[in-house]
A and B are shown apart, each in its own frame.
Chain A
Amino acid sequence: GAVVSQHPSRVICKSGTSVKIECRSLDFQATTMFWYRQFPKKSLMLMATSNEGSKATYEQGVEKDKFLINHASLTLSTLTVTSAHPEDSSFYICMTTEAFFGQGTRLTVV
């Protein structure tokens, strides 16, 4: 149980464009999803908590307008990196309340 499918696994985009990352819960209803960011050889830092049907809760220092989170259904949460810049290049990963993770997305902004 608690299988989460995240995609894309890798994406390369140009500076100034937006990228959407999806996390789908395959065998359960996820009312809450957590989004983490991980820099190379660093730990996972919580960016925001996604709640179905309501606004996401962002951690201190995370730009709400840059990292748009949508949780419109019980099986899908999305993270959109808007107007991406090279410093947004990172590994992004979602996690359920049961502490199971998606496969992660490696974002490279060129």
Chain B
Amino acid sequence: AQTVTQSQPEMSVQEAETVTLSCTYDTSESDYYLFWYKQPPSRQMILVIRQEAYKQQNATENRFSVNFQKAAKSFSLKISDSQLGDAAMYFCALRGGGSNYKLTFGKGTLLTVNP
């Protein structure tokens, strides 16, 4: 079974500062994918960043980057230069490799950005 744990129900950051959201996971598969999604009040699920487990290099997307520690099964998200629009619920998710495409989600972290 796959599990995803987000230990921070809520986080807050000052505008323009940096914040890191934590995520740990467990899987018996060697090939898998990790995702961070942003869910604003509209509840649309927006893909923030994706990491293939076989890639050692940490994925980055503009102000968003991850710290992928495969041995520790850790996948944290760093948001730099936080903006008011970054305020949302953030979900970490895990997908197995091969033909198993379903995602397992963590419980989410509610991020507040203070002006």
Residues of A near any B CB (own CB < 8 A): 32, 34, 38, 42-46, 49, 91, 93, 95, 97, 99-101, 103-104, 106
Q: Is B55 an interface residue (CB 8 A)?
A: no
Q: Would you call B107 and A43 a contact (CB within 8 A)?
A: yes
Q: Given A101-B45, A104-B44, output 9 extra A-B contacts at Cβ < 8 Å.
A: A34-B101, A42-B107, A43-B108, A44-B103, A44-B105, A91-B43, A93-B43, A99-B93, A99-B101
Query: Which residues of B in the span 19-50 have a Cβ within 8 Å of any Cβ on A?
Result: 33, 35, 43-45, 47, 50
Query: Which chain A residue lies CB-closest to B35?
Result: A99
B102 touches A46 (CB 8 A): yes
**Nearest opposing residue in chain B for A98, CB measure:** B101
Give the CA-CA distance A97 to B105 in the complex, in Å: 15
User: Given A38, A43, A45, A99, which contacts B43 in the complex, CB threshold below 8 Å?
Assistant: A38
Which one, A43, A99, A100, contacts B95 given CB within 8 A?
A99
- CB-based contact B91/A34 at 8 Å: no
User: What residue of chain B has the Cβ atom nearest to residue A46's Cβ?
Assistant: B102
- Whether the Cβ atoms of B103 and A95 lie closer than 8 Å is yes
A93-B45 in contact given A32-B101, A44-B91, A99-B35 (Cβ < 8 Å): yes
CA distance A42 to B9 in the complex (A): 10
| Interface pair A43/B91, CB less than 8 Å apart | yes
Q: For residue B37, give the distance in angstroms from its CB to the closest CB of chain A.
A: 8
Report which of A32, A44, A101 forms a contact with B44, defined as CB distance below 8 A. Answer: A101
Q: List 12 A-B contacts (CB under 8 A).
A: A42-B108, A43-B91, A43-B107, A45-B105, A49-B102, A95-B103, A99-B50, A99-B95, A99-B103, A104-B43, A104-B44, A104-B45
Chain B: minimal CB distance from A76 (Å): 18
A66 to B87, CA, bound (A): 36
State the Cβ distance, B19 to closest chain A Cβ, in Å: 20
